[in-house]
Amino acid sequence: QKEVEQDPGPLSVPEGAIVSLNCTYSNSAFQYFMWYRQYSRKGPELLMYTYSSGNKEDGRFTAQVDKSSKYISLFIRDSQPSDSATYLCAMSRNQGGKLIFGQGTELSVKP
């Protein structure tokens, strides 16, 4: 069983929709949670970084962590065609520890 599970999609939504991307994990020791965005033929770039449970908002993006359910989410409000990319969740047990990545969810936002 993989430590981190992420639905690979693809997910297609119309412009302006609210998008919900999710990951589940099995190791309760994970404390640091990240979302990376990867455009086609590019490397991943950090989008959101959170520690422990709770919500973090940055513009149209909200990251949510529920450690009791071992579930993290990324919400994108008012989605734009420029949000079309693959979104990877990643997590770590401690500062400087190894990152465990999900498979990535491919998102397409149609104009």
Partner 1 sequence: EADIYQTPRYLVIGTGKKITLECSQTMGHDKMYWYQQDPGMELHLIHYSYGVNSTEKGDLSSESTVSRIRTEHFPLTLESARPSHTSQYLCASSETRGNRQNIQYFGAGTRLSVL
Residue 109 tokens read as 């936002």
SS3 79: coil
d(CA 26, CA 75): 22
Nearer to partner 1, 11 or 100 (CB): 100
Answer for which of 19, 72, 88, 109 binds partner 1 (CB under 8 A) is 88
Nearer to partner 1, 6 or 79 (CB): 6
Strands (E), the chain: 4-6, 11-14, 19-25, 32-38, 45-51, 54-58, 61-66, 71-76, 85-92, 100-101, 105-110
Nearer to partner 1, 42 or 110 (CB): 42
Strand partners, 18: none
Tell me the closest approach of the beta carbon of residue 101 to partner 1, in angstroms. 4
d(CA 94, CA 104): 22
Is residue 102 a contact point for partner 1 (CB under 8 A)?
yes
Is residue 42 a contact point for partner 1 (CB under 8 A)?
yes
Nearer to partner 1, 14 or 96 (CB): 96
11-19, 53-61, 62-70, 99-107 -> range binding partner 1 (CB under 8 A): 99-107
Residues that bind partner 1 (CB under 8 A): 2, 4, 6, 8, 32, 34, 36, 41-46, 49, 88, 92, 95-104
